[in-house]
Amino acid sequence: MKRSLGAAWIAVFFLSAMLGLAGTALAKPWWMRNIDSNATDFLPPDVAFRVGARIDGNVVKVRWVIADGYYLYRSKIEVRAESPDLVIGAPQLPPGTVKTDPYLGTQQIYTQQVDAVVPFSRIDAGAHPLQIKVTYQGCAEAGLCYPPITKVVFPTAGGPAVAAADPPQPFESTAIIAGACAFLFAGLVLRKGRKLDLPA
């Protein structure tokens, strides 16, 4: 009885420690910390701006996930049909944040994430795979711009348009720690009253 009570205390301690860890939002998983890239470096454009699309009824939803410290220009976003049978309407974009640059004038920009809703119709009732071509251009706040990027995207039916920039790490690390705790706890519980048969 005493032993199982001790094990329970250890489990409570670990679970509480895990709660404390998970309670604060982790920007990065704990096993990736302190091997940060040189802070003076800029991200490659495909890491700074990630794009994906999914089909949702009569519209394609195109999503850009934008890294912290980076932004996309609203006026530089274009979506065109790539499949021969596809007719698409003008992309509907939410209003952006107004950015005033004395050397570039006033622009609307997007940070973090933006979704464009693009109505479409298909002449061949889906004989060809649906492909769209997206163009976008953005910069780093720290003073660097990337040339316009053009990509052909295959919108998927359902599912997330693009993986989030940072996967929900707290849950991931919580799951790992909880798994380890459960394993330890189960081992302690199952061990109770058992002895290892060692050869004499």
90 touching other proteins, by CB under 8 A = no
Q: Which of 60, 50, 49, 111 is nearest to 86 (CA)?
A: 60
Q: Cβ 138 to other proteins, closest distance in Å?
A: 10
How, if at all, do strands 144-145 and 97-101 pair?
unpaired
Which residues does residue 156 pair with via DSSP β-bridges, in sequence order? 54
24 touching other proteins, by CB under 8 A = yes
3-state per-residue secondary structure call for 9-53:
HHHHHHHHHHHHHHHCCCCCCHHHCCCCCCCCCCCCHHHHEEEEE
Q: Out of 1, 2, 34, 95, point to the residue binding other proteins (CB under 8 A).
A: 34
Applying CB under 8 A, which part among 83-91, 110-118, 138-146, 160-168 lies near other proteins? 138-146
Q: Cβ 59 to other proteins, closest distance in Å?
A: 29
Of 60 and 139, CB closest to other proteins: 139
100 touching other proteins, by CB under 8 A = no
Tokens, residue 128: 């060809």
106 touching other proteins, by CB under 8 A = no
CA distance 132 to 94: 20
CA dihedral 100, 104, 106, 109 (to 10 degrees): -80
Q: Cβ 191 to other proteins, closest distance in Å?
A: 21
- How many residues sit in the footprint of other proteins (CB under 8 A)? 47
Of 41 and 197, CB closest to other proteins: 41
168 touching other proteins, by CB under 8 A = no
Q: Out of 1, 38, 157, 195, point to the residue binding other proteins (CB under 8 A).
A: 38
CA distance 192 to 7: 10
Other beta carbons within 10 Å of 152 = 11
Name the CA radius of gyration of the chain, rounded. 25
161 touching other proteins, by CB under 8 A = no
Q: Out of 19, 127, 163, 189, point to the residue binding other proteins (CB under 8 A).
A: 19
Which residues of this chain interact with other proteins, rule CB under 8 A?
9, 12-24, 26, 30, 32-45, 47, 68-69, 101-104, 137, 139-147
